[in-house]
């Protein structure tokens, strides 16, 4: 199924960051942790319509890895897979 976000929304797939203690023990993703703050962009909407009637160009593109505000995304599940929907205003930075 292809998701197409509307307006200035972005579809993300959460990127798990592997955590390691100082002694080298890796903490698995199954441990209940905070919500993810990184995601891989799967789809980008056309942009927000401005008062002038033109669309605001999106700075994010498919394939980017981004940092976003921790509590901003809406979590959805489609065909057994988890996705995050976030507004472009809640994306803080592009990584790499």
Can you give the residue ranges of every domain in the chain? 9-16+30-95
Q: Give residue-wise pLDDT tens across range 7-58.
A: 999 999 988 765 656 677 766 655 455 566 899 999 999 999 999 999 998 9
**pTM of the predicted model as reported, rounded to 2 decimal places:** 0.77
Instruction: For residue 7, give Cα distances in angstroms to 57, 59, 62, 85, 96.
Output: 11, 13, 15, 12, 25
pLDDT range class, residue 71, cuts 50, 70, 90:
confident
pLDDT range class, residue 82, cuts 50, 70, 90:
very high
For residue 64, give the nearest of 79, 48, 86, 34 by alpha carbon. Answer: 86
What local confidence, expressed as pLDDT, does residue 20 receive? 59
- The two beta strands, 65-68 and 91-95, are antiparallel
What CATH number was assigned to the domain covering residues 9-16+30-95? 2.30.33.40
């Amino acid at each position: 199924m292809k998701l197409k976000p509307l307006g200035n929304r972005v579809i993300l797939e959460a990127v798990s960051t592997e955590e390691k203690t100082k002694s080298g023990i890796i903490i698995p993703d199954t441990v209940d942790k905070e919500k993810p703050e990184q995601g891989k962009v799967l789809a980008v909407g056309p942009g927000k319509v401005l008062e002038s009637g033109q669309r605001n160009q999106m700075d994010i593109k498919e394939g980017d890895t981004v940092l976003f505000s921790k509590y901003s995304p809406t979590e959805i599940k489609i065909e057994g897979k988890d996705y995050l929907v976030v507004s472009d205003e809640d994306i803080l930075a592009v990584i790499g």
